[in-house]
Amino acid sequence: MPKTQSQKEDERIKAAKKLARTGNRKDLKAYLRLRLERCQEIEMDYWKECLSEAFDDAGIVATDEQITKIAGDVEISHENYGMAYGHDAIPNPLETENKNLKKELRDEKDKIICEICNGKGNLISYGGTFQSISTCLKCKGEGRYLP
């Protein structure tokens, strides 16, 4: 059975997540970006489905492009609804995840290389023929930190 677009994307996200675990910042950023895109797609799909059904009920014929355009507008209106009626105190889990992912991505971009360990994440000290490796306390072993 051929894979659907969604299955292919799931696999891409899974692969990116696996790469992100290796600690490579570029892989982590790619993974976070994919997750964010996926969340936005899920929200968009929801509005497109709502509109398609509403249009069917009302006997309105619209192209996919028209529905996508209207779905975008409805999504923006929906985002502003909470502000307009004070429902901001009850967060949408998808919006919350979106916000968190955006923050994580921004934080990841803002991180600077740790000058204590030179981005290695650990410190090596020598005593005669022995060496001891310890985790850098400044960056907690990540090699980078938020200034």
The binding site for Zn ion (CB under 5 A) comprises 114, 116-117, 136, 138-139
Which of 76, 116 has the CB closer to Zn ion? 116
CB of 113 to Zn ion, least distance (A): 8
AA identity, residue 9: E
CB of 143 to Zn ion, least distance (A): 6
Half-sphere exposure of 25 (CA within 13 A, CB side): 16
Is residue 132 within a helix (H) or strand (E), and if so which, with residue range? strand 130-135
Question: Rounded to 5, what percent of the chain is helix, strand, coil?
Answer: 65, 10, 25
Which of 69, 138 has the CB closer to Zn ion? 138
Which of 82, 141 has the CB closer to Zn ion? 141
CB of 23 to Zn ion, least distance (A): 13
How many angstroms separate the first and last alpha carbons of the chain?
50
Sign of CA dihedral 107, 109, 112, 113: positive
Which of 3, 138 has the CB closer to Zn ion? 138
